[in-house]
Amino acid sequence: MNKKFFTAGILAFGMLLGSCDNDDQNKSVIESNHNLELSISGLANLGDNFVYEGWVIVNGSPVSTGVFTIDGEGKWSANSFNVDESTLASATNFVLSIEPKVDTDPAPSATKILVADFSGNSATVVATTVPGINTNGDGEFSGAWGNYFLRTPTDETGTNNGNDENGIWFGTPGAPPTAGLGGMPELEVTSGWRYEGWVVVNGTPISTGTFTSFIKADASNQFSGAEANAGPPIPGEDFFLNAPTGVVFPLDVRGKTAVISLEPYPDNSAAPFSIKPLVGTVSDTAEFAPTVHSLTANLSSFPAGTITRK
């Protein structure tokens, strides 16, 4: 055999072996760079100003696992992350928070959307629990229930003008009305969350206002009548003034969908957030107060899934 060809063959074989070794090494690096995987349903697009950030809890302290976004089609920017092996092995919990896109605070925000406890190498999301939203610990929604009634206390005279189809109030009628939402926690102002009421008209959601307490007025009366301050001490709204584009006021709420959502705070979206603990369709023939109508628990709207460490 020609010596030159023999030598060239050895060199080529060595390069092939080296290439295989490099491929194996690169593969090992790639695999080790993705040792935490998230498989979670029910997460929504947060818009342009916010991101999701994962955290593992080690000896009571949070360690970031990285940020990701979800676009309008539900596509994740990333669902697997590199975490220091010893840190990940020592983690007892996984927490997911909602953070400003431009964030100078290294700690998790108050808006934590889910928590999961590791058992072995996986952690299962408790679908109806939202962590840290009140002083008693986690917020549990599995027993959520709600009542509402139709009445227009803010019409021009503040009395019943036979137009009670133009208002919805989330409570129990009386003098004064009392709470009609329950089985879910009242929110601490510092929790990073707010409830928000909605009436959906031909696919257009109209807010009745945000609130933290079931026995106080909500933060908005933008659609109420001239007697706007006459509203009862519960969340709700009359629909007389300042109609949104494409909607005609006064609004007959019968035949529409009523929703109570759980909203991140601060919130940069005018639409309802993906978590909607209570939903109900107002009957076309719904009777007015003192008749009480019910909302149905919508537990399938909460995030669910698993977190896996490798």
The tens place of each residue's pLDDT in the chain, 310 residues long, gives 443 333 444 334 343 334 444 444 433 344 445 699 999 999 999 999 999 999 999 999 999 999 999 999 999 999 999 999 999 999 999 999 999 999 999 999 999 999 999 999 999 998 899 998 877 767 999 999 999 999 999 986 555 678 999 999 999 999 999 999 999 999 998 889 999 999 999 999 999 999 999 999 999 999 998 765 678 999 999 999 999 999 999 999 999 999 999 999 999 899 999 999 999 999 999 999 999 999 999 999 999 999 999 8
pTM of full prediction above 0.75? yes
User: Which two structure tokens, joined as six digits, stand for 199?
Assistant: 């009436």
Gap between the Cα atoms of 46 and 273, Å rounded: 9
Residue 229 confidence (pLDDT): 65
CB 27 within 8 A of CB 74: no
Residue 27 confidence (pLDDT): 36
Radius of gyration of the chain (CA): 27
CB 168 within 8 A of CB 253: yes
Gap between the Cα atoms of 199 and 214, Å rounded: 18
Find tokens 């006459």 and name the residue.
230
Gap between the Cα atoms of 38 and 175, Å rounded: 50
Distances, alpha carbon 122 to alpha carbons 31, 76, 87, 90, 306, in Å: 18, 20, 15, 13, 7
> Which H/E stretch holds residue 139?
strand 137-140
User: Residue 154 gets which letter from DSSP?
Assistant: T
